[in-house]
Amino acid sequence: MANKIIFSGLIVALLQVASAEEANPEPYMNDAPLTIYVDAGKEIDQFLSLAKSIDGKLSVLGDALESITQKVSKLERRELRNQQTRRMLVEVKATAERMSAEVKATEERCTQKVSELERKLEDLINPQTKSSAVATRPKRRAELACEKTHGLRSAGIRNNTIPYIINFVDDYADSRNRDGVLIEKRFVLIIAMRWSFLHSNIKKLKFSFSNRIVSKRIKKVHTVGEYFLDSIILVELDSDVDYNNWLYPTCLYTSELNPKSGLINDGKTIQIVKDSKCYIPYSKKLSPSEICVYGGCSFTDNLVFLVEEETTPQLFGFVHCNDYFEYQTLYKVFPNLDFIENIVWPKNGN
């Protein structure tokens, strides 16, 4: 642009010079033409200055136009973002309203469910308000057997558990004491080392209390559960035991939940502690049939009873006592209760 303006100025200046020469063919003989040349040079300078000024203003205008174009682009982008934001706000609002409706419906369902659970809980707490149509949990066969013999336990109980001692007699008339309890007229539950018991040729079992003895022959031996060195063994007698004031069945603990207190071992209180107290180097957990206890050990194997006020003592489990350890592992009877019930109190009644 600037080159075009300069070129135009030069053409104008040459035309002026040519006009002056036509008016005076011999300019060198007159001083006037010198004045004409000087004026033409000034006009060229002025025209060039004007051209530069115009070029500068055009540059400024171009910059301003570019700036305006950028601002317009920014405004257009901002407007586009605003439109997107408005659409998002509309969608968020719709989603919030939908979620609010769903939450309200869920709250109503939860409130209804809580009301139902409260009514059921109230029925459980107040049995007298329950309808006869509401079913209750059937009692286990071991529980029913315990209730039938409740009146037999009026005699003094040694260490709040059992008054008698159990001895096994082999073919050579050797007698061995074993921890155990009579649970039904023909069944005795004992704790023993399974391999030594089954291979000792034991034929007879004796209950003794003071100077009185009841002797029975053994019909069959059932292995109920095996634990480390010991086993729970169910001994089936060949005939019924006649109950009396010192020889009567012991109830079994029939709940899957562990009691918070009341465990007795040979008259001594036992406390349930954290399982980690009984962990051994090659095993960092206890099985569901095991819990860790503290205190109460006095002999190699000991039966553990749950003894609470105004309730019948119940056999809870046994411990294999070891004087080298402060904490002992207790093996519960409950995990084997189904097996015991199916043999001692079969559903068909035989």
Q: Tokens 């207790």, residue?
A: 330
Q: What is the pLDDT of residues 70-120, one digit of tens each?
A: 888 888 888 888 888 788 778 777 777 777 777 777 776 777 677 677 667
230-250 as b/e, with b when 16 or more CB fall inside 10 Å?
bbbbbbebeeebeeeebbbbb
Query: 211: how many CB neighbours lie within 10 A of its CB?
Result: 5
Question: Would residue 100 count as lying in a domain?
Answer: no
Residue 94 structure tokens:
């719709």
Residue 208's Cβ-side half-sphere holds a number of Cα atoms within 13 Å equal to 14
Would residue 216 count as lying in a domain? Answer: yes
- For 148-168, letters b (16+ CB in 10 Å) and e give ebeeebeeeeeeebbbbebbb
Is residue 282 domain-resident? Answer: yes
pLDDT tens for residues 1-29? 555 555 565 665 566 555 555 555 554 44
Whether residue 117 lies inside any domain: the answer is: no
> Cα torsion at 169, 170, 176, 181 (round to 10°)?
-50
CATH of the domain at 255: 2.40.10.10
Confidence of residue 131 (pLDDT cuts 50, 70, 90): very low
Domain housing 269: 143-344
Residue 23 domain-assigned (yes or no): no
Q: How far apart are CA 148 and CA 134, in angstroms?
A: 25
Alpha helices, H only, 135-242: 141-148, 194-198
| Structural domain contains residue 165 | yes
**323 in a domain, yes or no?**
yes
Cα dihedral across residues 293, 295, 296, 297: positive or negative: positive
CA torsion, points 81, 82, 87, 89, in degrees to nearest 10? 110
Mean pLDDT score, 306-319: 77
Looking at the 3D structure of the chain, how many domains does it have? 1
- 1 is a domain residue: no
pTM for this prediction: 0.58
